[in-house]
Amino acid sequence: MKYKFLSVAGLALCAMCAAAGPAGNAGAAVDDSVITAKIKAALVEDSTTKARQIKVKTQHGVVQLSGFVNTSESKQRAAAIATDTEGVKEVHNDLEVRDTGKTAGERLDDSVLTTKVKAALVGNKSTKAHEIKVTTLRGVVQLSGFVDSDDAKAEAAKVAANVNGVKDVENNLRVKSL
């Protein structure tokens, strides 16, 4: 419980610090980081959601939820939390409902596979790896985040699919709106 409070307090502090940022383009990035921090804090506090399973990305007020969750109730609750957060214009709920109970060996295999996919994305000149979140569950790789074009989205999926051990790729990347 102590760590849960510290996590929420840390996220709230990040949101307050970010809110003091400059205006303009940097202001939009700050607003997005504040929205993300508020959503993450609310997910930590909610008894239905497991915040560690849910990735949150925000771009110009458009929120993307991604990752693997245990129940459809958790997926729906995460979307409701995001939708109800001040400043959110739209929510893309790309959460996948799957049994996330894994053995220690499966967790290790998935983390190794995630690392291999991230390394492949970094090594590819066409992909901007820093824009792409990679999550793996039992060999299924989920790509999420915001990229510059449909070509970048397709290339990232191709790179991930070509990594040895990847069973399937769920490409939930979104093309940035300008």
Same-domain status, 77 and 114: no
> Could you tell me the residue range of the domain that residue 155 belongs to?
104-175
Q: Global pTM?
A: 0.64
Does residue 118 share a domain with residue 90?
A: no
What pLDDT is stored for residue 115 in this prediction?
95
**Predicted local confidence at residue 109, as pLDDT:** 87
Count structural domains, the chain: 2
Element housing 94 (H / E): strand 90-97
67: left (phi over 0), alpha (psi -120 to 50) or beta: left
111, 75: one domain: no
Helix axes 150-161, 104-123, angle to 10 degrees: 130
Domain end residue (candidates: 79, 97, 115) = 97
User: In this structure, are 61 and 108 located in the same domain?
Assistant: no
Q: Locate 39 and state its tokens.
A: 């959503």
- Per-residue confidence (pLDDT) for residue 138, from 0 to 100: 87
Spans in the chain with pLDDT lower than 50: 1-3, 5-9, 11-24
